Amino acid sequence: MKKLQMKAARAALMLAIFMSFTVACSKEEGNNPQTSPANASANSSSTAAKSKAEGTVKIVLPGDAPKDLAGVQKAMEEKLKTDGLNIKLDFTYFPWDQYNNKLNLIAASGENYDLAWTHVSWLSQIAAKNVIIPLNDLIAEQGQQLKADIPAASFASASIEQMIYGIPTLVPSAENNNFFVIRGDLREKYKLAPIKTLADFENYLDTIKKNEPNMVPIANDNTRGLLREFGDIYLPIGDYGAGPAYIDPADKSLQVKNFYESEIFKNIVKTKRKWYLKGWFPKDAQEIKDSEAALNNGKIAATWSNVLKTSERIDAFKAGVPTGTLEDVFLNPEKPKYVFDAASNLLSVFSTSKNSKAAIAFVNWSRSSKENYDLFSYGVNNVNYKLDGNAVSTQGIADKSTYNQVNWAWDDIRMKRFSKNVSPSYIENLKVWDKNAVVAPTLGFRFNADPVKSEIAQIDAVGQVYVGVANNGYVEYDDFYPEFKSKLKAAGIDKVIAEVQKQLNDFVAKKAAK
């Protein structure tokens, strides 16, 4: 997942990335793709024998390069050679705030790069702009392991009109971003029951406010955790709990509605306002600038999360709060759990790639065995990490030997390793998370924003003024909404909703005709 998985500032940046692209992501109910057994004994050499892919694969990823990238890269190239693949690797990392522009510039200038992390929420836009290419033929030729292991639903979520535009992660996908995380140790300290409802959650926040004077009860960094309280929604434009249009998966007519005119948006804003007035939120944007650091320093008692995030943040949290525990909150767990996308984070091939065959051959190799997956994801055992049973540990690893890779971009739950700080019950829950999930009828729908890209840009500009302050709890709903609604109308939101409906109708008709 997939890819989706970042702190509040990064979440806002992801939305900005999506908007910049728009202007210049299971076959049956109960499908459980991530429990497919890993083919740990896959014969990489036999796959390589019929492959002529070779040369240097130039890979683009976000963030900062791992400190021992050179050492791990050398080890991967040696293992590739042992497995019969004459492939070299070249990694380039772009800062998060430049990443989207860099992808566009690479395609526009014809620069020779091969592979990049992308996300399903951008898929229509970057495919329409010829930033990336379809992979169907390449997968058939170079990705036999990928073809065998990745479920059809995951490929469908990475496709536009049956053309696959990225190799998806294999992670739990059912409403996987609709979480909060709390301090489980504090919940137990004050003898509160496990949190299942909004009332439970607000009781926890109020308890923290009254008993922990040096803590802010919750960071104001996301709204998706509230969606299960107020409605089931699929957002075809944008994400992180807001967007101009939404679809209720239980609505058999699949009517596209105005999210900002909905009771869902109204209830979220009013809830956030209540949290602010009760002192559960930070008093201003300066009080908590980095929610992740604040969590790790014991300054906040709750923040955003997703289905995998606790496993990713647990070690940093434990380093700052050794006796603390983290606990996920998924409101109303008895309600249906929808799979809107069976993929989020992707590895895609540039349209400018001069070595696309080797790029897919490399991804196929990395997912062909646990040994290869470990090497790409965690580095060299006893050099970059150590195994504590089946768990990954960096205890005793020199700083210069650390390999903090962005492995969420190619996560595979079948082979993924976890920290020893992650409980076995948490891991087992991840493996069955999608069991009995309901596949949304919109699965595989990708909105092409080109016909209304000007309107979306204007709507985004309006949202920048009003939505953030509303979600931070700074304003009363009735005070800002009439003006907000008027400006959305002027920006063309009705035209956008009509275009989404048109494209969704076409999608449904084509799906029914198959």
CA distance 471 to 480: 12
pLDDT, one tens digit per residue, over 450-487 is 899 899 999 999 999 999 899 999 999 999 999 999 99
Average pLDDT along the chain: 88
Q: Which of 289-293, 307-311, 362-366, 418-422 has the highest mean pLDDT?
A: 362-366
List CB contacts of 397: < 8 A, sequence separation 6 or more: 383, 384, 385, 386
| DSSP string of 18-63, one letter each residue | HHHHHH----STT--GGGSPP-TT--HHHHHHT----EEEEEEEES
Residues 189-196 have a mean pLDDT of 98
CA distance 431 to 411: 13
Across-strand partners of 92? Answer: 60
CA distance 237 to 459: 11
Contact 233, 256 (CB under 8 A): no
Q: Residue 110: exposed, middle, or buried by beta-carbon count in 10 A (0-12, 13-18, 19+)?
A: exposed
Q: Decide if pLDDT at 511 tops 90.
A: no
Residues 410-425 have a mean pLDDT of 92
List CB contacts of 249: < 8 A, sequence separation 6 or more: 232, 234, 338, 340, 438, 440, 441, 442
Contact 387, 283 (CB under 8 A): no
Residue 4: per-residue pLDDT: 35
Question: Alpha-carbon torsion 313, 317, 318, 323, what sign?
Answer: negative
Q: Decide if pLDDT at 344 tops 60.
A: yes
Instruction: Kindly indicate the confidence band of residue 395, based on its pLDDT and cuts at 50, 70 and 90.
Output: confident
Q: Decide if pLDDT at 6 tops 70.
A: no
Residue 509: per-residue pLDDT: 94
CA distance 226 to 300: 18
Q: How many CA atoms lie within 13 A of 286 on its CB side?
A: 0
Tell me the backbone φ, ψ of residue 64, rounded to 5 degrees: -110, 145
Stated as kind and residue range, the H or E segment containing 247 is strand 245-247
Q: Residue 20: exposed, middle, or buried by beta-carbon count in 10 A (0-12, 13-18, 19+)?
A: middle
Residue type, 370: K
Tell me the backbone φ, ψ of residue 152, rounded to 5 degrees: -60, -35
Residue 93: per-residue pLDDT: 97
Q: Which residue has the tokens 């895609």?
A: 348
Mean pLDDT lowest for which of 19-23, 67-71, 193-197, 316-320? 19-23
Residue 284: per-residue pLDDT: 84
Question: Alpha-carbon torsion 425, 430, 431, 433, what sign?
Answer: positive
Instruction: Kindly indicate the confidence band of residue 37, based on its pLDDT and cuts at 50, 70 and 90.
Output: very low
Q: Decide if pLDDT at 188 tops 50.
A: yes
CA distance readout (Å), 502 to 126, 192, 352, 498: 21, 48, 32, 6
Question: Alpha-carbon torsion 58, 64, 66, 67, what sign?
Answer: positive
pLDDT, one tens digit per residue, over 211-268 is 999 999 999 888 889 999 998 899 988 766 678 999 999 999 999 999 999 999 999 9
The whole model's pTM is what? 0.81
Residue 258: per-residue pLDDT: 97
Question: In b/e form, how buried is each residue of 466-497, taking b as 16+ CB within 10 angstroms?
Answer: bbeebbbbbbebeebbeebbebbeebbbeebb
Residue 13: per-residue pLDDT: 39
